Amino acid sequence: MNDALKATLAPTLKSWIQSANDPASDFPIQNLPFGIFSDAVNAQPRAGVAIGDWIADLAVLEDARLIDARGTFHASRLNDFIALGRETWRGVRIALSALLAHGNATLRDDEALRRRALVPRSDATMHLPVEIPGYTDFYSSKEHATNVGSMFRDPKNALLPNWSELPVGYNGRASSVVVSGTPVRRPNGQIKLPNEERPIFSACRKLDIELEAGFIIGRGNALGEPIACEDAEAHIFGMVLLNDWSARDIQQWEYVPLGPFNSKGFATTISPWIVTLDALEPFRTATPAQDPQPLAYLRHEGDHAFDIELEVTLRPEGAHTPTTISRTNFKLMYWSMAQQLAHHTVGGCNTRVGDLMGSGTISGPTPDSCGSLLESTWNGQRPVKLEEGGERAFLQDGDEITLRGWCQGEGYRVGFGECAGQILPARG
């Protein structure tokens, strides 16, 4: 990382946009996450960067020749920009950081340009930030896998023999990935009741969340050419929050022998802002100890986990006060993003710009740090108490789930914004 890039991460760096200097803001000048937005003035979706309470319209700034991305910021997805490569991403970051920094008058004092280039975030509609060619979901939290294995198998054999040897994953459904704020309809499917010989067709009765983080592929690999573990992070553009909604009763019946299908394919929600790995650099930390030592192709030196605080709230329809149902941290993940990507491609699978990789449910060691209701309620046996009365074993219609995540720095935080969705009734 060169000196100009390091300067964009300085904790003392401030912006002339005052809301970006609020220690509680998710979007200080050290963050500069990318997304796609539109507004009432311009209904065309285009690229923007979140800064405090505002969005910097990158298409306007590029037209004014203050940044250069070869015209890609007018597109309705970020794929073309991402495909320009890491040097271009970093060049835009450096230019934006300088432009928005306290003391730089170029944009600050050009009133006409500033009015066009800065859009209040409250006035914007956020869109899916990338076209997603493929989606893969992993299963990389040891605490989560142990909880689920203990619940449905023998606690002494909670982890299957392969779990500690490789990042377990499955190919999900990219077409049903939606942006935060999109309502999620309760799915219908086959459910096998305990005392019935055959399954019934019914609306899901055990609708659940999965608190995850996801990463977006920034540089693909050719078919038959694996990505080395030590090189994998150079292929990652950035991270989002991810809720892989899960129909547990449908899943329990269908997942043998090939894994989840309709129980997962109905919706996966991601946050609209992609936080770059460069913005997350100061928050690197060590991954948990891995025993046994991974095979050679899954080894990497240095710190490859990230200290990201995570929180989930549930707000019933009509309630004023949401209930916090989980607090945990991404740094607990047993398998790193680099190991996941190396394993994903070791057999020769190609990846493409915009591909989404989910971490798998992120759980901690205590009930209040579980990343799913399946775990925190122990499959409905210990319902969660709600702030305004009532309880939840699984989600009810009208419930709104919101995921939040942030890295805490000295006097600032690098946040992801919200990843939210409300449950609609199943179709009759």
Q: What is the pLDDT of residues 310-358, one digit of tens each?
A: 999 999 999 999 999 999 999 999 999 999 999 999 999 999 999 999 9
pLDDT digits (tens, 9 = 90+) for 99-117: 999 999 999 999 999 999 9
Determine the pLDDT at residue 153.
87
C-alpha–C-alpha distance, residues 386 and 392, integer Å: 7
368 known ligand binder: no
C-alpha–C-alpha distance, residues 167 and 144, integer Å: 13
290 known ligand binder: no
139 known ligand binder: yes
Dihedral sign (CA 42, 46, 47, 50): positive
331 known ligand binder: no
* Alpha carbon separation from 63 to 58, 68, 119, 152 (Å, rounded): 8, 9, 16, 57
135-424 — its CATH code? 3.90.850.10
> Can you count the helices (H) and strands (E) in the chain?
11, 26
Element (H, E) at 81: helix 79-82
With a cut of 90, say whether residue 154 has pLDDT above it.
no
Helices (H), 196-307: 248-254, 277-280
- Judge whether 3-127 and 135-424 match in fold: no
User: Active-site residues: which are they?
Assistant: 144
pLDDT digits (tens, 9 = 90+) for 65-98: 999 999 999 999 999 999 999 999 999 999 999 9
pLDDT digits (tens, 9 = 90+) for 231-272: 999 999 999 999 999 999 999 999 999 999 999 999 999 999
3-127 — its CATH code? 2.30.30.230
Average pLDDT over residues 371-385: 97
End-to-end CA distance of the chain: 55
Domain ranges of the chain: 3-127, 135-424
244 known ligand binder: yes
C-beta separation of 148 from 389 below 8 A = no
146 known ligand binder: no
